[in-house]
C-alpha cells in the first residue's frame, strides 16, 4: 500500500493504493464520517493479495483534510470515479463503512457502469429527520460520540490511543495492531494533538446523508447488487445496532438487489476495526 495524490478540481485528495494483479478486481473502500483510509486496514489485511485496493481519505479527513470544497457526498462519489480513472481501473467493488454506505449508494446511482457491486457496512439506509434543522444538530443527535471527538485535544499520540483503549466499543477488545490505524487520525496543532479533519467538511458531508434526499435514499434504490452487512450493537457498544433489523428487512424487501448479512456480537466499530474485518473482506471479495 502507498499513499498517492489524486488530482481533483482545485486540488487533490489522498488515496491509499495498491494495484491489482492481472484480471483481478479492485476494491474501493470508503471510510466513515470521522475516519480515514486507515480505518479499513484490518479489512485490507484479509483481502486476496492480488485484489487491487483504492482506499480514499475522503475530502476533509486524513491527508485529504485540506482538499477543496465541495464536501457533499455526491462529490465524494465522483472522487471515486476520478480515482478509478487515475489508476486506469474500469470498474470497482465499492464498500462503504457507515457514512461511506451513502457514498457507495450514490456511486451506484450516478456511475452505474463503473460499479460492479456495492457493500454497505452498517450504513446507507434512509434516516428520517426534520430537514429544516441545522445539520450539526442532526449529526450530534445521530452520531454524537463521533462528533464530540473532533473537538477534543490530546497531549500526545499515546493519550489519543488511551482514549480509544477505554472507548466502550473497544474496551476489552483492544488489539495493538490498531495503534497505527488510529494514530493516523491525528496531527499536532499549536502544541496539542487533534483529529486531522476539516469541521466544515464533516458537517457538510455528514448532514448530506440525512438532509439530501438523493443521498439519503440512494443505497436502498441501488441498481447494482448490494450486500448490507450490519451488527447488533451500536456506537458505544450498547445492544441495538445503528441499523435496526426492521429497517434492513424493509430495504431488502423493497429492492431485490439487496441481500442482508447480520453479524451478531459486534458493534459499529468492531465491524471494521475488530473481529468483523475478516468477514467484511470475504464479502468484498465475493465469497
Residue 188 lies in a domain: no
Residue 187 lies in a domain: no
Contact 56, 13 (CB under 8 A): yes
- The whole-number average pLDDT for the span 164-192 is 94
Give the closest residue to 35 by CA, choosing from 278, 277, 274, 269: 269
Segment 106-123, tens digit of pLDDT = 999 999 999 999 999 999
CATH number, domain at 276? 3.40.50.1820
pLDDT over 90 at 43, yes or no: yes
Residue 146 lies in a domain: no
User: Whole-number mean pLDDT of the chain?
Assistant: 93
Residue 144 lies in a domain: no
Domain range for 94 is 2-127+198-285
Residue 181 lies in a domain: no
Give the closest residue to 124 by CA, choosing from 148, 145, 107, 100: 100
pLDDT at 132: 67
Q: Which phi and psi angles does 270 have, rounded to 5°?
A: -70, -15
Segment 229-258, tens digit of pLDDT = 999 999 889 999 999 999 999 999 999 999
SS3 97: strand
Residue 38 lies in a domain: yes
Alpha-carbon gap, residue 99 to 107, rounded angstroms: 13
Residue 100 lies in a domain: yes
Q: How many structural domains comprise the chain? A: 1
pTM of the model: 0.94
Residue 87 lies in a domain: yes
Contact 60, 36 (CB under 8 A): no
Amino acid at each position: 500500500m502507498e499513499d498517492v495524490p489524486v488530482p481533483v478540481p482545485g486540488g487533490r485528495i489522498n488515496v491509499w493504493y495498491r494495484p491489482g494483479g492481472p484480471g483481478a478486481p479492485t476494491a474501493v473502500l470508503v471510510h466513515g464520517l470521522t475516519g480515514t483510509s486507515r480505518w479499513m486496514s484490518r479489512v485490507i489485511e484479509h483481502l486476496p493479495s492480488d485484489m487491487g485496493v483504492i482506499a480514499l481519505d475522503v475530502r476533509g479527513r486524513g491527508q485529504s483534510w485540506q482538499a477543496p470544497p465541495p464536501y457533499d457526498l455526491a462529490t465524494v462519489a465522483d472522487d471515486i470515479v476520478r480515482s478509478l480513472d487515475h489508476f486506469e481501473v474500469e470498474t470497482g467493488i465499492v464498500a462503504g463503512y457507515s457514512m461511506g454506505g451513502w457514498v457507495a449508494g450514490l456511486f451506484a446511482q450516478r456511475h452505474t457502469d463503473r460499479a460492479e457491486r456495492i457493500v454497505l457496512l452498517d450504513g446507507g439506509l434512509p434516516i428520517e429527520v426534520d430537514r429544516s434543522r441545522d445539520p450539526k444538530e442532526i449529526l450530534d443527535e445521530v452520531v454524537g460520540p463521533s462528533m464530540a471527538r473532533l473537538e477534543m485535544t490530546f497531549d500526545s499520540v499515546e493519550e489519543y490511543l488511551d482514549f480509544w483503549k477505554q472507548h466502550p466499543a473497544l474496551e476489552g477488545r483492544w488489539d495493538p495492531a490498531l495503534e497505527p490505524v488510529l494514530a493516523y487520525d491525528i496531527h499536532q496543532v499549536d502544541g496539542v494533538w487533534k483529529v486531522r479533519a476539516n469541521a466544515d467538511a464533516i458537517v457538510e458531508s455528514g448532514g448530506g446523508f440525512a438532509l439530501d434526499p438523493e443521498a439519503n435514499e440512494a443505497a436502498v434504490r441501488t441498481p447494482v447488487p448490494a450486500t448490507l452487512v450490519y451488527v447488533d450493537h451500536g456506537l458505544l457498544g450498547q445492544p441495538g445496532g445503528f441499523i435496526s433489523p426492521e429497517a434492513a428487512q424493509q430495504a431488502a424487501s423493497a429492492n431485490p438487489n439487496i441481500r442482508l448479512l447480520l453479524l451478531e456480537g459486534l458493534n459499529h466499530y468492531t465491524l471494521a476495526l475488530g473481529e468483523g474485518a475478516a468477514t467484511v473482506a470475504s464479502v468484498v471479495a465475493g465469497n
